[in-house]
């Protein structure tokens, strides 16, 4: 096993909420905005308003993981790799994931269009390690 494979398997990533918020973005609202209509209805019923308070982020991610992730439009073929990684992480309730785990979930989501995307583990790693507005960070 080479060094990259070790890193891809052992290094875990998640959304660094503080980094995300430092970009001037509400993490809770970012989660809400990625919900399906059914998920948004559930969030509004549960919270009484769109969740903007960071204290509601966990509840919002639970809705994504239970309702939204199972809908075909959650990650579309036209979704950018960065956006898809963000959606996968919030659907996983921001539990840290390895490059290999993220790569596998991307491959599942894009099974029908995988040939159209440069979806190597190297690309996933570069997205996670590179500059972005999503707040990706090492766990």
pLDDT tens profile 72-101: 899 998 899 999 999 999 999 999 999 999
How confident is the model at residue 115, as a pLDDT? 56
Segments forming the whole domain that contains residue 62: 3-138
pLDDT tens digits, one per residue of 31-63: 999 999 999 999 999 999 998 888 999 999 999
Structural domains of the chain, count: 1
CA distance to 2, 10, 47, 80, 121, per residue, from 57 (Å)? 37, 26, 11, 23, 29
Chain-centre distance for alpha carbon 124: 12
In this structure, of 10-14, 61-65, 68-72, 98-102, the range with the lowest mean pLDDT score is 68-72
| Of the candidates 105, 104, 100, the residue with the CA atom closest to the CA atom of residue 90 | 105
- Look at residue 113 in the predicted model and tell me its pLDDT: 65
Half-sphere exposure of 119 (CA within 13 A, CB side): 24
> In terms of pTM, does the model score above 0.85?
yes
**Predicted pLDDT of residue 118:** 74
């Amino acid at each position: 096993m080479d060094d990259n494979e070790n890193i891809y398997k052992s290094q875990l990533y998640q959304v660094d909420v503080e980094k995300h918020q430092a970009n001037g973005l509400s993490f809770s609202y970012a989660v809400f905005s990625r919900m399906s209509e059914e998920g948004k209805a559930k969030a509004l019923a549960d919270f009484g308003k769109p969740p903007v308070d960071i204290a509601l982020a966990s509840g919002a991610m639970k809705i994504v993981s239970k309702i939204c992730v199972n809908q075909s439009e959650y990650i579309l073929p036209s979704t950018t790799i960065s956006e898809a990684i963000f959606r996968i992480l919030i659907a996983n309730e921001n539990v840290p994931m390895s490059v290999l785990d993220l790569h596998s979930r991307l491959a599942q989501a894009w099974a029908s269009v995988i040939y159209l995307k440069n979806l190597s583990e190297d690309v996933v790693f570069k997205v996670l390690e590179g500059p972005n507005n999503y707040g990706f960070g090492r766990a």
